[in-house]
Amino acid sequence: MQSSINSLRSLEQEALQDQQGRKFPYLRLSVTDLCNFSCNYCLPDGCLDHHHSEALTIDEIHRLVEAFTYLGVEKIRLTGGEPTLRHDFADIVRTIRQVPGIKKLAMTTNGYKMDQRVTGWLDAGIDAINVSVDSLDPRAFELITGHNRLREILTGIQKAFDHGLPSIKVNAVAMKGINDDELDVFLEWIRDYPVSIRFIELMQTGNNQEFFQKHHFPGEKIQERLLERGWIRKVRSADAGPALEYCHSDYEGSVGLIMPYSKDFCNDCNRLRVTSLGQLQLCLFAESGIDLRDLLQRDDQQEALVARIRESLKLKEDRHFLDQGWTGGTQSLSQMGG
């Protein structure tokens, strides 16, 4: 694929930065809003409304990624919906991999058919995987996701290691009365296994208010339990994102805590999001996005695209207002990838 970056040579190259001085080396790119799971906190009735057939094409994705790398993005995470439902998922990966400046290409997946597909994802050029596993109990897993697929996902994780991936992150949304008693099961699992578990505090979205009220489980409680069990908070690196990292000398794996309701959560925001329809989202809980798609149609639009992205950054708020129950335009995180 031809590079569209030549049309940018005349522009001053300067990394993206917002009014608060935060830098954005990390882009989360949703490649579809379609999902085949029905997680009780995200799409309890399944994916009733989606725009899978209208999602960004590979050419559009290529131009978008070139513009963002020009603006200092080095890491891209492919997400969704379920990103692997794109038939051209491996082609998307190969295309992004060819863009100079991309140092890390990650994906977040529900692990569907991971046992059969993970080697293909890695061979195409994925170098980090987050896979969602909200319970290690097959029955609870099925109740949460609507799918009896825990075994294939755990096999998929092992296959990723066998294929040479040095570590893998597992996302688990902590939910009161559903999986809040599983901390020790998860910890036992990573005693001799190099998995980094990310416990994510359940976030309120437009469509899960009642569920949220019933099942929200504060991240501080997980933090307390970790400290009681001898886990130690790691020193934060300068470019760390919002997760708090913990380690323990008896364990091969590690733990990350994502606590979006904590006071300073947004201070370390280092990421931007683009939806599968090409809308730039300045925050997971923004009221609306900024359309970029009209500027993804031709290579000679790159200068205008870069200028619009830069200009949009001025609109980024200091923080989200989740603690006040304000969820913006986000009905479920499947709309744009968590």
Q: Which residues bind ligand SF4 (CB under 6 A)?
A: 35, 37-39, 42-43, 80-82, 110, 132, 334
Based on CB atoms, which residue is closest to ligand SAM, 70 or 112? 112
Interaction partner, residue 79 (ligand SAM, ligand SF4, none; CB < 5-8 Å by kind):
ligand SAM
Considering the complex, state which of residue 289 and residue 337 has its C-beta at the smaller distance from ligand SF4: 337
Query: Considering the rule CB under 6 A, would residue 133 count as an interface residue with ligand SAM?
Result: no
**Residue 43 contact partner, candidates ligand SF4, ligand SAM, none, CB within 5 to 8 A by sort of partner:** ligand SF4
% helix / strand / coil in the chain, to the nearest 5? 35, 20, 45
User: Does residue 121 bind ligand SAM (CB under 6 A)?
Assistant: no
298 CB neighbour count, 10 Å cutoff: 11
**Cα–Cα distance between 181 and 176 in angstroms, integer?**
8
Q: Binding ligand SAM by CB under 6 A: which of 99, 202, 266, 283?
A: 202
Residue placing its CB nearer to ligand SAM in the complex, 73 or 200: 200
Q: Which of 7, 109, 223, 279 binds ligand SAM (CB under 6 A)?
A: 109
32 binds ligand SAM (CB under 6 A): no
Nearest approach, Cβ of residue 175 and ligand SF4 (Å): 12
C-beta separation of 79 from 274 below 8 A: no
Binding-site partner at residue 207 among ligand SF4, ligand SAM, none, CB < 5 to 8 Å by type: none
Tell me, what amino acid is at 272? L
48's enclosing H/E stretch is none
Secondary structure in 3-state letters for 257-322: EECCCCCCHHHHCCEEEECCCCEEECCCCCCCCEECHHHCCCHHHHHHHHHHHHHHHHHCCCCCCH
Q: Taking the CB of residue 99, how many other CB atoms lie within 10 A of it?
A: 22
Q: In what order do the strands lie in the sheet with 244-247?
A: 232-233, 244-247, 254-258, 195-201, 168-174, 128-132, 104-109, 75-80, 26-32, 271-274, 279-281, 290-291
Q: Which does 203 bind (CB under 5 to 8 A by kind): ligand SF4, ligand SAM, none?
A: ligand SAM
Residue (16 or 39) nearer to ligand SAM, CB = 39
The stretch near ligand SAM (CB under 6 A) out of 121-129, 188-196, 200-208, 296-304 is 200-208
Cross-strand partners of 27: 76, 272
Could you list the residues that contact ligand SAM (CB under 6 A)? 35, 41-42, 79-80, 82, 108-110, 132, 171, 173, 200, 202-203, 205, 208, 333-334, 337-338
